[in-house]
Chain A
Amino acid sequence: MTDSHPSNGPLFATIDGNEAAAYVAYRVNEVMAIYPITPSSPIAEWCDQWASEGKPNLWGTIPSIVEMQSEGGAAGAVHGSLQTGALSTTFTASQGLLLMIPNMFKIAGELLPAVFHVTARTVATHALSIFGDHSDVMAARSTGWAMLAAGSVQETMDLALIAQAAALRARLPFIHFFDGFRTSHEVAKIQLIPDAVMRELMDDDEIAEWRGHAMTPDHPVLRGTAQNPDAFFQGREAANPVYDICPDIVQQVMEEFGKRTGRHYKPFDYVGAPDAERVLVIMGSGAEVAQEAVEFLNRRGEKLGLIKVRLYRPFDGERFVQALPPSAKAVAVLDRTKEPGATGEPLYQDCVTALVEHRLDGPGGSRQPAVIVGGRYGLSSKEFTPAMVKAVFDNLAERTPKNHFTVGINDDVSFTSLTVDPEFSTEPDDVIRAVFYGLGSDGTVGANKNSIKIIGENTANCAQGYFVYDSKKSGSMTVSHLRFGKQPIHSSYLITRANFVACHQPEFLERYDLLRHLVPGGAFLLNSPCSKDEIWPRLPTPVQKALLERKARFHVIDATSVARASGMGGRINTIMQVCFFALSGVLPRDEAIDAIKESIRKTYGRKGEEVVRKNLQAVDNTLANLFEVPLTGGVNGAGGFHPPISPDAPPFVREVLGELAAGCGDELPVSAFPRDGTFPTATSQYEKRNLALDIPVWNEAICIQCLKCVAMCPHAAIRAKVCDPANLEGAPPTLKSAAARAPEWKGMRLVLQVAAEDCTGCVLCVEVCPVRDKTENKRKALNLQPQAPLRMAERANWKFFLGLPELDRRKINPTLLRQQQVMQPLFEFSGACAGCGETPYLKLLTQLFGDRAIIANATGCSSIYGGNLPTTPYAKNAEGRGPAWCNSLFEDNAEFGLGYRISLDKQRELAGELLRKLAGSLGDELVAALLKPSETDEAGIAERRARVAVLKLKLQHLDSPEANLLLSLADQLVRKSVWIVGGDGWAYDIGYGGLDHVLASGRDVNTLVLDTEVYSNTGGQMSKSTPRGAVAKFAAGGKPGRKKDLGLIAMAYGNIYVACVAMGAKDDQTLKAFVEAESYPGPSLILAYSPCIAQGIALDIGASARQQKMVVDCGQWLLYRFDPRRAERGENPLQLDSPPPKTSVLDYLLSENRFKMLTLSKPESARQLFAEAAADDADRRKLYEFMQSRTFKAQAPEPAGQKIPIAAESPGT
């Protein structure tokens, strides 16, 4: 964070809401128990970073920060810390807050003063959402915590302190919440609270008094008693006075805060006309939007008012009613949450109750409006705009205003929605509004954050930035919304009228209508390899039209070339930033350039002189290459926008998912969506993203058909089929094939085909190709060539390839990779990062078992690329079979998957019972065959499916309740493969207790842990899988402890199949492990090494396999399989598949940034931790070698699959 302090005035900073909360929380606490969850993770990251830098809190000590295994753990740790007298806090959202609720009841019940800072986020219901609404904090209403709501970045800082001071004075815990993303991630220029003010509000006597109440053996007390009917109720009521005076205390603290800072708050703040007739009640960032709208409309002569609810709990009904102007005739209460089945949402209900209970008559008149209605808005960060505020006021002006309405959507099912005028805007003319379209990793967002800081620091302007990302992890589009103006900015909504629009990636221009928000006369900046003289006819026709209609100022720069010439590689961020300053006029040009240069020195200084030099060079090179394009050409463009979804897609995919993909999802009505969150699979095939600049091209003449390329492709974009030569008749002329080399497939042709439009260009297939051209060593059997010239031909080839028949699975040996890889993948084209290390395992799972797999997926990367709309990667085969997939939660995934198993087994058992009962009608032979245990090979499965088909046919002719019941259960007679999938954050940390229990259950579930050794999805926080010495968030100094050996723990049970694999190092071992695990009739656990961008490796240029080989070759990752069936046969169940280490651990560690960066930040620690890491590996190897050397005797038939009773209920209840 950069502070600025112009002429001894207030201290300003340009920061986001999370940093604002962290700024206060860090200073006023001593203990922080943390756990990452979006969007609150950065608060913990800031605190951890400041602690690692040795920054003291208000009392001169560095707060103790401990990462826990879950939010439940964090709340428990805070509870204990509070009971023993340390000022303690945590930060969370959504499901995380829900996991804290049990402890929150305790903390409130024990009147412990703490503040939890919550980035309010949607609680998962029919779907997960990482975005913002109040469903989480509303779920915590009953805990007895006070709640303060902040609506802006400034308020987030201010109320963070007010909450803390009030908590101590009131002796009550507070939830301080602000809107996830809209406030937590909005960057704004705000005034910092000086430490002296914080010190004054944090009363030493109050702290000492509370600390004196802490548990200590020096004056022991007992808390947490068990009470009976004779005592509990009274005890619960005993605390009432604490709640009664809390609002007064909050008011008092707010006044003290106002005196010291000039920023005044009240539990209910009123804004608007003193004689308002219509009043809106709202809390959070929506109040900012409402204020802008109310002030705008009142300037036009309306009489409107707004109550911003700050102190939501304890809800002071009397204060609320007093805040209403006596003139109020109609009140609308807006809730950012939904409580299905309730008589209204919570804030509405509170307001109604308050008005009923506190009828006030005063000199100004009665505060009893004739009308009060409630409505919902902004769920999951749905846009909330001044136009919607106006719609709410318009509703209040109706003779019979709509109650329980919605605003911001088109509800054509229950007709709750209000009509919104899309043309209504309150944007003042003197605010500069800029929108930038960039690619996730091109630095656009970073540069824009930097621009806001530059303007914040160098001018008196107010500044605001908000950033929107699309749903894919690879090739994602980012949209930056920046506002600059003289007056405070209350516009907590996206820009729809931009003075400046920049397109940083030329290909976006072909796909999206980027100019739809450009105002007439506005500036449009395009990064393009085309010169100013070449660009016009190459623009899509609608873009040309828009530029001409709006008389836009159009500038073009070849930023990529300028970047290369400046030594910046492909990084265009600084160049585009310079263009923005040059064109927007937000600062005088020379002043802006100087400010950028100064900022470069500050920002990049820590990364070395060379980076600074290159960026400065880029600044100097930019202006000479920025050209205005005169709008003298006619409309002669390159056609319309590319459709986001293939026209071949089914109607639902085209009309619903297609609209989402096009960025027009907000326009879809309620009726477009399923009621229960069920969506079709196999939809990613219709979203052609054309991300790859270069694609692999097959040299069939030298290919040895090992199919490692197919196995390792993270996106299923390169595939093989084996078919009869006759099938290739009529193939497009450029389709390649070669004689199949496998003896079993003699006379057949092998086709290796690339999905050119789905490939991400990660190069992994080329990297793993073992073939070398004998005359030109650098060439392989796959070589890269530019995608664009090949696109059309490969599109036709791909279509033909898809039409080729799949090889009969019974003719494929599933344990030979070069055969197995012709199996159809039923996981394709996910939005995972280019080169992802996880997805090849999932693809393999679906190739082997996808047609009978049911997957429970823990929240994390795999649930995001696996199930994030608009299109999803799990697919179906020609028979319509494929994986059924569901994400329950992060913490419960093993239990959720076990639930599948128990349910499926029960249904199968019932089907068996019915079979026996109906044997007379169905035929003994069929019944006997179906009652036999399922076969696990493809032939057995095919045979059983055929029998089930016969059974169903017969059942349709038997008209009895039992036959009908069996008909509904018949498919359960084919064995289903239950997979429990998740990352290491789930398996090692938050879900470990459940996983352990499920593995111990003995039930036939398969667990796949995609082990990236870090919390990847939330941005690289340390997990218990993180290896010693690795730098991660919450382990800035390198993780001091060793990695948890989850496999060893599981092996200790003896009846669990355990495998540790790394496909890029030894693909045949991985394949065997999957086949063995699935065939094992008890629990299995596969730990799959999954290289990840969070490890600091170049996954996007094919590093995955190389890193896997290195980590295995040096002995840091052991390959092994532990099969209890071997013990039954008198063999040692453990097979160590890793040979003794042949390379140095240090060489491996230095090849990944997570380790290497420690040598650059803390070289001494690096030396020590790396030596210890090498020793860990050696110790572990020795232990495993010992385990492998033990002799076993053949046992009686094993407990494999034996059911260990699961506790019916937890003890101690």
Chain B
Amino acid sequence: MDLSTTYLGMKLRSPLVCAASPLSQQLDNLKRMEDARASAVVLHSLFEEQLRQDTAELEDNLERGAFSSPEAMSYFPEVDNYKLGPQEYLALIERAKQAVGIPVIASLNACSAGGWTRYARAIQDAGADALELNIYHIPTDPAQTSADIEAMYLEIVRGVKSELTIPVAVKLSPFFTNFSNIAVRLVEAGAGGLVLFNRFYQPDIDLETLEVRPNILRSTPMALRLPLRWIAILYGRVQASLAGTSGVYFGGDALKLLLAGADVAMLCSVLLRDGIRQITSIERELVAWMEKHEYESVRQLKGSLSQMNCADPAAFERAQYMRAIISHPTPSAGPS
């Protein structure tokens, strides 16, 4: 069975890629991902904001109470080698490249104009095969227009792309007025691939403590539906790789993304929940289905059920929503 696919210009032995997750912080896990037959790995994101926060916190903590007593002019030992910059991340890229044979894709979330290009260059220099830009922006200013926001995204991609020779993918949220439009423009700006979609951690309210808390939930199989739709719509319309992420738990989920037009399916929650070895069983399920349905290669099935190629293009549009409502069974009134 030929599982090979091409993503960001890189030939991969299968369409199963490990998405950015905390698992990739440890080198051992990267090796285990390769052993479990992942075809590429996206490292966890380098968050510029986190680096800045760490720096500010450290500065604050080391200075607190300093020189306020003749007996204690400081409360911590002097340390000269804090790893406050991206050094640890860059070192991980270097070590990952030495440790595994599969492509290593770095991920970057920066919060300043200079940060995107500075860190992107460093990541390329450290040997990453590609870079995924994790653009994370929750607009809260009512005065900011959607055009402003889109322009900002495009500027980031242009800026980073102008500095790099390695391919650049963009991981996006679905929250755009016309997603197809921004997708096309991002590709024009230099994005070699689109990763659909970024999941934001949504806040929750604790009813007991009446506190607002970030609530970290793993994706559910239902989350697959959103990337599935947009990959199907974008397939053939953008000249870029498409990666589907969110809600891939079984071989069938990956297949659906591929049929819709994805070049790769990215795995995250399933690995956090069931372990890295789950990649192997997803591949096994993928192969079993393809054998059963007599497909010879991933290339063959990729995009075959995209909006462009499927028998019912309208199924990916709003009309299907109406039918779904109409066909939904009415709940019973329950026992009287």
Contact = CB atoms under 8 A, between A and B. Distances in A.
A681 B63 CA distance: 34
A1019 B72 contact: yes
Contact of A473 (B54, B56, B68): B68
A1160 B62 contact: no
A441 B65 contact: yes
Interface in B44-80: 51-52, 54-80
Contact of B77 (A444, A1016, A1036): A1036
B69 A1163 contact: no
A1157 B72 contact: no
A1020 B76 contact: yes
Contacts of A1079: none
Nearest to A571: B63
A130 B55 CA distance: 35
B82 interface: yes
A446 B77 contact: no
A467 interface: yes
Contacts of A1035: 77
Contact of A1032 (B64, B71, B77, B85): B77
B140 interface: no
Contacts of A1161: 79, 81-83
Most buried by A among B56, B59, B79, B85: B79
A783 to B, nearest CB: 16
Interface in A1000-1045: 1016-1020, 1031-1036
A440 B67 contact: yes
A721 B128 CA distance: 67
Contacts of B54: 608, 1160
A443 B66 contact: yes
Contact of A441 (B56, B58, B66, B80): B66
B84 interface: yes
Nearest to B118: A609
A1056 B72 CA distance: 35
Contacts of A1036: 77, 79
Contacts of A443: 63, 66-67
A478 B69 CA distance: 9
Nearest to A1022: B77
Contacts of B63: 441, 443, 446, 571
B61 A476 contact: no
B62 A1153 contact: yes
Most buried by A among B51, B52, B78, B85: B78
Interface stretch (A162-170, A275-283, A542-550, A1093-1101): A1093-1101
A772 B210 contact: yes
Contacts of B2: none
B59 A611 contact: yes
A36 to B, nearest CB: 9
Nearest to B53: A610
A3 to B, nearest CB: 15
Contacts of B67: 440-441, 443-446, 467, 469, 478
A606 interface: yes
Nearest to A46: B78
B73 to A, nearest CB: 7
B70 A39 contact: yes
Contacts of B52: 610
B317 interface: no
B77 A48 contact: yes
Contacts of A694: none
Nearest to B211: A777
B125 interface: no
Contacts of B79: 606, 1031, 1036, 1157, 1161
A1035 B83 CA distance: 18
Contact of B84 (A41, A53, A474, A608): A608
B88 interface: yes
Contacts of B75: 1016, 1019-1020, 1093-1094, 1096
Contacts of B59: 604, 607-608, 611
Interface residues of B, number: 36
A571 B52 CA distance: 17
B77 A609 contact: no
Nearest to B55: A608
A1017 B75 CA distance: 9
A1096 B66 contact: no
A419 interface: no
Contact of B68 (A53, A441, A772, A1153): A441
A1163 B69 CA distance: 31
A690 interface: no
Nearest to B56: A610
Nearest to A1092: B75
A640 to B, nearest CB: 28
Contacts of A39: 70-71
A39 B54 CA distance: 32
Contact of B64 (A606, A772, A1098, A1163): A1098
A181 interface: yes
A1163 B27 CA distance: 13
Interface string A919-939: 000000000000000000000
B70 A1153 contact: no
A664 B75 CA distance: 30
B72 A1017 contact: yes
A1098 B81 CA distance: 24
A833 interface: yes
Most buried by B among A476, A1016, A1157: A1157
A1122 to B, nearest CB: 32
Most buried by B among A49, A441, A608, A1018: A608
A243 to B, nearest CB: 36
A730 to B, nearest CB: 40
B76 A476 contact: no
A501 B88 CA distance: 45
Contacts of B66: 440-441, 443, 445-446
A403 interface: no
Contacts of B62: 607, 1096, 1153, 1157
Nearest to A1161: B79
Contacts of B51: 608, 610
A185 B55 CA distance: 29
Most buried by B among A474, A610, A1020: A610
A52 interface: yes
Given A445-B73, A1017-B72, A833 B65 contact: yes
A95 B125 CA distance: 57
Interface string B263-302: 0000000000000000000000000000000000000000
A1019 B73 contact: yes
A1096 B76 contact: yes
Contacts of B57: 1153, 1156
Interface string A427-465: 000000000000111011110000000000000000000
A908 to B, nearest CB: 39
B76 A473 contact: no
Interface string B90-130: 00000000000000000000000000000000000000000
A52 B77 contact: yes
Contacts of A777: 210
Contacts of B84: 607-608, 1160
Contacts of A446: 63, 66-67
A996 to B, nearest CB: 27
Interface of B: 51-52, 54-85, 88, 210
15 contacts: A49-B78, A443-B67, A467-B67, A469-B69, A474-B68, A571-B63, A607-B58, A608-B51, A610-B52, A1018-B71, A1019-B71, A1034-B77, A1036-B77, A1094-B75, A1160-B54
- Which are the 10 A-B pairs with shortest beta-carbon distances? A440-B68, A1019-B72, A608-B55, A1153-B61, A445-B67, A1020-B75, A608-B84, A1036-B77, A1094-B75, A1093-B65
Given A445-B73, A1019-B74, A1096-B76, 13 more contacts: A39-B70, A185-B70, A441-B64, A441-B65, A446-B63, A469-B68, A478-B67, A1017-B69, A1032-B77, A1096-B62, A1153-B62, A1157-B58, A1160-B83
